[in-house]
């Protein structure tokens, strides 16, 4: 029953957000902190804390400035985090990217994000 309820909730949230078939926001300008919380709930990852927000805002700023993924080493150095900490926060680069409300980076990039 819990799995069906979670699947139904995911489907309901997904239907109301402007996401592509892979769960990425179609336009990063639609993003809001509330939307980040909804995406996190869809993924079943709990509540976003200060460290999550610092990663999210770094990803958004970098993407909106340069139009590309930042190197993980740059993100970690700038925020004073270890790669393992970032993985622990989001589970994967893909989840962090989705939570930051950034568009699907394409198949090649996705293979490196899991």
Where does 17-106 have alpha helices with state H? 33-43, 50-66, 72-79, 83-90, 93-99
Mean pLDDT of 61-81: 94
Mean pLDDT of 1-12: 42
pTM over 0.95: no
Total Cβ atoms within 10 A of residue 31: 19
- For the cut 70, the answer to whether the pLDDT of residue 14 exceeds it is no
- For the cut 60, the answer to whether the pLDDT of residue 31 exceeds it is yes
Question: In this structure, is the dihedral angle defined by the CA atoms of residues 91, 26, 63 and 106, taken in order, positive or negative?
Answer: positive
Q: Model confidence at 42, in pLDDT bands (50, 70, 90)?
A: confident
pLDDT at 21: 87
106: left (phi over 0), alpha (psi -120 to 50) or beta: left
> Where is average pLDDT lowest: 2-16, 48-62, 75-89?
2-16
Question: In this structure, is the dihedral angle defined by the CA atoms of residues 88, 109, 23 and 101, taken in order, positive or negative?
Answer: positive
């Amino acid at each position: 029953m819990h799995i069906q309820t979670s699947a139904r909730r995911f489907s309901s949230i997904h239907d109301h957000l402007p996401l592509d078939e892979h769960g990425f926001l179609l336009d990063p300008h639609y993003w809001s902190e509330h939307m980040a919380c909804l995406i996190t709930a869809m993924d079943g990852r709990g509540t976003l804390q200060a460290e999550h927000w610092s990663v999210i805002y770094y990803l958004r700023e970098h993407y909106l400035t340069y139009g590309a993924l930042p190197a993980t080493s740059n993100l970690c150095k700038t925020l004073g985090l270890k790669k393992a900490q970032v993985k622990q926060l989001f589970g994967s680069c893909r989840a962090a990217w989705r939570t930051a409300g950034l568009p699907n980076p394409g198949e090649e990039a996705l293979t490196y994000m899991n």
